[in-house]
DNA sequence: CCATTGTTTGTGGAAATCCACAAACAATGG
DNA sequence: CCATTGTTTGTGGATTTCCACAAACAATGG
């Protein structure tokens, strides 16, 4: 039997193209772009598995499936060569026997074509499939360029937002609509700081587009910083953003063996607060740098708590506006008697006044800790049950450290 | 027997005068000014009791004795009339039988003369004693005027110090020496705020001079404020200053039935910090006015703790630099559900995280409190074990109250 | 050298906290 | 109306904290 030659006629759309291939191969066809977004699919109804259905329904390949395809080495292989490969059953994700091929332009992969192998393919089919992939290149390329152009526009708008160049909420919403992006109801700015200038732009872009937890209308890369706008129709919570950051940094670590630090600023509804949220995210990273130990699990600006004040307070402290006699006395005592009252107080407060936990951290007996605390109140002339004084001492203590850096 | 007439000859000093009276009456004589400072005393050695010895040794009547003489009505009586009175034994304070008289100039008492009644006095002696008192007036008056002039100088210098017009420590020390005041090693500025303009200047001056706990090189009255410089050679502690303020306010309440609020600024060694200490004392009073409940037992600037920051933070808050989503969420929740999560958190933190105490204050069951706290962490998206966030929330909460006033 | 003070660790019992679970009731939205 | 959710109060038992007291040892100053 001779295969139908799809290249003889003109095609208006990729949909039509997919349909023709499907008819030629007698099996369902799906075309994706490089980020596993659905580009086109055939309407071949028989023999369609769960994986394909969910891909089509959500107009992208579900993350679970992408992960699985990475783990089983399918995607890596597709990214290495343009040869069609046979993908075995992965019943856990509802994916059955299929053939996949990547679409190339020079050294870049533009997308993928998937065919469910309903009837066993021979050499003929494989050859045809390769030709199909080559023929798809141009179509996809146009799509790619259009997208690329759009992304450049996005970049420009995003930077305007980050630097506060568009002030009114309405104007910002307008920009979103012009770029055909839905206006976010709730958003937060997320920043990932890499140790070096980011070179893995392609892969990161790929990662972001395949992690489908959030709607990310904008993202950009600035030197060693990856900046995202994360949006959601439902209220964003600190917790979800934290897990997003953890999972992203984990993934980066896994893929590139690079340690990155992530943070997010305020969660807002007002679009004009994007700049503020961005600055807050940067502020978190700065604080994390100064207090690596205390802020290890902190990612959100909210979580910074009193550290939010520190720049301001430090400034005043350096003007001599806030001295702390208690602190001075404790410091003098520590120095004279080779004790560690200050550290004791710090750790104790860090542990939220939990004796056991603090004692463990300090490697001392609980009673020793209690004794020291009593001593601190005597030496420092501080009422240990007065919250205000304790907070002040704690803040001043941290400020000293903060100021040193 | 005729008494020796002391008025026949001239006297260079009050000491000599006292000596003559002593010889005339055959008993020890002590002359004090209106503030019970020793002015002169005879060297008559026999029959001198403990009270007299300690008065002479410290060059003033000990406070314990003054208190006792007030309580037994001796001093009030002396302040009412110029008649000599017989003071019965008060063994508890080592004071034995004596005769006392006040020295008058117009309607003011300039001082007192004390005679220990070693041999029973008759009319003759009493008459002579009255003449002696009258003769003392002029001598004491000169002393009084000299003192008064000196006090006016003091006032001027003190205000210069309070307003920071003398900058260098050396210059300030020089001023102290010029006024024949010993240079304080440790000092603090204390301010008492009366409800109305202070009219009881004389009595307050008397009180201050008779309360001998501290060296008070300067004091002044400004409208309804009494400002003191309290000094000591040994290090001043917060505790001693607190008890001073309490005892002074108690005394004012007792004497004039007036409620006054007292405060003190920073305790320093550097004299150029007098202005700062003064401002801090005023700052304490301002804060006490805004948070009467929380700051009831607070008198020192140190004790203000985080309230020290409040003016600064409020300013920033009004600039919109510090929002607190947690607070907003809790406020919204409280309003919607008629709950009191914010107050709960505030009281709980005020109680230094003590569940029982806070529950009692809130009139709720301990478990209810625990439940609410869990709720607060859910609703406010706050990690209840994160000290920084809790402090921030607490501060923001107080700032709202602060800002309202 | 001794006496004093400061520091760490231990013991043991009273008090407080934590936690899970349950009953009772109010408020809410369908 | 019911079902659900939120709120308050209660019970009971494991764990932790609080407190007073004591033993051991180091550092200090006379």
- Given a contact cutoff of 8 angstroms between Cβ atoms, the answer to whether B398 and B309 are in contact is no
Q: Is the dihedral of CA B64, B66, B70, B72 positive or negative?
A: positive
Per-residue pLDDT tens over the stretch A32-52: 988 888 888 888 777 788 888
Per-residue pLDDT tens over the stretch A193-207: 999 888 888 788 888
d(CA A126, CA A132): 10
Phi and psi at B300, nearest 5°, equal -90, 155
The better pLDDT of the pair B384, A370 is held by A370
Instruction: Tokens for B12, please give them.
Output: 């260079």
- Per-residue pLDDT, B305: 87
Helix (H, G, I), strand (E, B) or coil at A280: helix
Percentage with pLDDT > 90 across chain A: 24
Q: Is the pLDDT of residue B146 over 80?
A: no
Per-residue pLDDT tens over the stretch B278-324: 999 999 999 999 888 888 889 999 888 889 888 888 888 888 777 88
d(CA B67, CA B56): 18
Q: Across-strand partners of B113?
A: B31, B101
Task: Tell me, rounded to whole angstroms, the distance of Cα A282 from its chain centroid.
Answer: 15
Helix (H, G, I), strand (E, B) or coil at A243: helix
Interface test with A, best of B305, B314, B328, B395 (most A CBs within 10 A): B305
- Per-residue pLDDT, A405: 62
Q: Do B389 and A237 touch (CB under 8 A)?
A: no
Q: Is the pLDDT of residue B385 over 80?
A: no
Question: Which window residues (312-341, chain A) lie with Cβ within 7 Å of strand C?
Answer: 337, 339
Nearest to A312 among B298, B316, B324 (CB): B316
Q: How far is the CA of A120 from the C1' of C1 (A)?
A: 102
- The residue of chain A with its CA nearest to that of B240 is A381
What integer is the mean pLDDT of A320-341? 84
d(CA B387, CA A307): 11
- Which chain A residues are Cβ-neighbours of B235 within 8 angstroms? none
d(CA B252, CA B203): 10
- Close Cβ partners of A298 (under 8 Å, ≥ 6 residues apart): A284, A287, A288, A304, B388
What integer is the mean pLDDT of B36-43? 86
Q: What is the 3 state secondary structure string of chain B?
A: CCCCCHHHCCCCCHHHHHHHHHHHHCCCEEEEECCCEEEEECCCCCCCCHHHHHHHHHCECCHHHHHHHHHCCHHHHHHHCCCCEEECCEHHHCECCEEEEEEEECCEEEEEEEEECCCCCCHHHHHHHHHHHHHHHHHHHHHHHHHHHHHHHHHHHHHHHHCCCCCCHHHHHHHHHHCCCCCCCEEEEEEEECCCCCCCHHHHHHHHHHCCCCEEEEEEEECCEEEEEEEECCCCCHHHHHHHHHHHHHHHHHHHCCCCEEEECCCECCHHHHHHHHHHHHHHHHHHHHCCCCCCCCCECHHHHHHHHHHHHHHHHHCCCCCCHHHHHHHHHHHHHCCCHHHHHHHHHHCCCCHHHHHHHHCCCHHHHHHHHHHHHHHCCCCCCCHHHHHHHHHHHHHHHHHHC
Interface test with B, best of A270, A296, A305 (most B CBs within 10 A): A305
- The residue of chain B with its CA nearest to that of A391 is B306
- Close Cβ partners of A97 (under 8 Å, ≥ 6 residues apart): A86, A87, A88, A89, A116, A117
Q: Do B302 and A381 touch (CB under 8 A)?
A: yes
What integer is the mean pLDDT of B98-116? 91
Per-residue pLDDT tens over the stretch A208-260: 888 777 889 998 888 899 999 999 888 888 888 999 999 999 989 988 889 99
Q: Is the pLDDT of residue A2 over 80?
A: no
Q: Is the pLDDT of residue B11 over 70?
A: no
Q: Is the pLDDT of residue A1 over 60?
A: no
Q: Is the pLDDT of residue B8 over 80?
A: no
| B338 Ramachandran zone, left/alpha/beta (phi>0; psi -120 to 50) | left
Q: In what order do the strands lie in the sheet with B261-264?
A: B215-222, B225-232, B186-193, B261-264
Q: Go through A84-104 and write b for each residue having 16 or more CB atoms within 10 A of its CB, e for each that does not.
A: bbebeebeebbbbbbbbbbbb
Q: What is the 3 state secondary structure string of A245-277?
A: HHHHHHHHHHHHCCCCEEEECCCECCHHHHHHH
Interface test with B, best of A264, A268, A290, A306 (most B CBs within 10 A): A306
What integer is the mean pLDDT of B65-85? 89
Confidence class of residue A280 from pLDDT cuts 50, 70 and 90?
very high
- Which chain B residues are Cβ-neighbours of A391 within 8 angstroms? 305-306, 391, 394-395
- Per-residue pLDDT, B10: 52
Q: Do A353 and B350 touch (CB under 8 A)?
A: no
Percentage with pLDDT > 90 across chain B: 25
CA distances from B82 to A128, B15, B137 (A): 131, 22, 12
Q: How far is the CA of A374 from the C1' of C13 (A)?
A: 22
Confidence class of residue A169 from pLDDT cuts 50, 70 and 90?
very high
What integer is the mean pLDDT of A309-338? 84
- Per-residue pLDDT, A299: 94
Confidence class of residue A12 from pLDDT cuts 50, 70 and 90?
low
From the list B225, B230, B196, B350, the residue with the least C-alpha distance to B285 is: B225
Q: Is the CB of B356 under 7 A from strand C?
A: yes
CA angle (A296 as vertex; A291, A299 as ends), nearest 5 = 100
d(CA A126, CA A151): 35
pTM score of the predicted model: 0.73
Per-residue pLDDT tens over the stretch A94-136: 888 899 999 998 888 889 999 998 888 989 999 999 999 998 8
Nearest nucleotide to B364 by CA–C1' distance? Answer: D8
- Given a contact cutoff of 8 angstroms between Cβ atoms, the answer to whether A95 and A119 are in contact is no
As a whole number, the mean pLDDT across chain A is 86
Q: Do A309 and B313 touch (CB under 8 A)?
A: yes
What integer is the mean pLDDT of B394-399? 89
What integer is the mean pLDDT of A1-18? 60
Confidence class of residue B2 from pLDDT cuts 50, 70 and 90?
very low
Percentage with pLDDT > 70 across chain B: 97
Phi and psi at B216, nearest 5°, equal -120, 85
Please tell me what DSSP assigns to residue A193: E
Phi and psi at B225, nearest 5°, equal -120, 135
Instruction: Tokens for A105, please give them.
Output: 């332009």
- Given a contact cutoff of 8 angstroms between Cβ atoms, the answer to whether B302 and A393 are in contact is no
| B257 Ramachandran zone, left/alpha/beta (phi>0; psi -120 to 50) | left
């Amino acid at each position: 039997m001779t295969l139908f030659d799809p290249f003889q006629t003109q095609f208006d759309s990729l949909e039509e193209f997919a349909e023709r291939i499907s008819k030629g191969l007698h099996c369902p066809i799906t075309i994706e772009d490089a980020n596993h977004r659905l580009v086109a699919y055939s309407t071949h109804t028989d023999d369609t598995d769960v994986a394909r259905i969910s891909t089509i329904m959500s107009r992208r390949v579900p993350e679970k499936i992408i992960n699985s395809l990475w783990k089983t080495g399918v995607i890596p292989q597709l990214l290495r060569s343009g040869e069609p490969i046979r993908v075995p059953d992965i019943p856990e994700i509802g994916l059955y026997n299929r053939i996949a091929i990547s679409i190339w332009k020079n050294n870049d992969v533009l997308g993928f074509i998937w065919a469910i192998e309903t009837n066993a393919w021979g050499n003929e089919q494989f050859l045809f499939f390769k030709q199909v992939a080559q023929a798809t290149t141009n179509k996809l390329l146009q799509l790619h360029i259009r997208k690329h152009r759009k992304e450049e526009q996005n970049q420009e708008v995003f930077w305007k937002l980050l630097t506060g160049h568009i002030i009114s909420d309405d104007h910002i919403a307008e920009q979103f609509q012009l770029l055909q992006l839905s206006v976010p109801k709730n958003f937060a700015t997320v920043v990932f700081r890499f140790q070096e200038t980011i070179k893995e732009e392609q892969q990161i872009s790929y990662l972001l587009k395949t992690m489908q937890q959030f709607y990310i209308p904008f993202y950009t890369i600035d030197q060693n910083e990856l900046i995202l706008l994360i949006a959601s129709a439902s209220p964003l919570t600190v917790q979800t953003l934290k897990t997003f950051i953890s999972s992203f940094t984990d993934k980066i670590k896994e893929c590139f063996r690079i340690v990155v630090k992530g943070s997010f600023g305020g969660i807002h509804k007002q679009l004009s607060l994007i700049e503020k949220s961005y600055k807050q995210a940067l502020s978190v990273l700065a604080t994390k740098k100064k207090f690596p130990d205390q802020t290890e699990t902190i990612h959100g600006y909210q979580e910074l708590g009193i550290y939010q004040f520190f720049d301001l307070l430090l400034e005043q402290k350096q003007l001599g506006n806030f001295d702390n006699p208690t602190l001075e006395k404790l410091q003098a005592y520590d120095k004279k008697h080779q004790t560690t009252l200050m550290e004791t107080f710090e750790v104790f407060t860090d542990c939220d006044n939990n004796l056991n936990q603090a004692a463990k951290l300090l490697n001392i007996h609980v009673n020793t800790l209690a004794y020291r605390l009593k001593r601190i109140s005597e030496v420092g002339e501080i009422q240990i049950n007065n919250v205000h004084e304790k907070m002040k001492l704690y803040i001043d203590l941290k400020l000293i450290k903060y100021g040193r850096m």
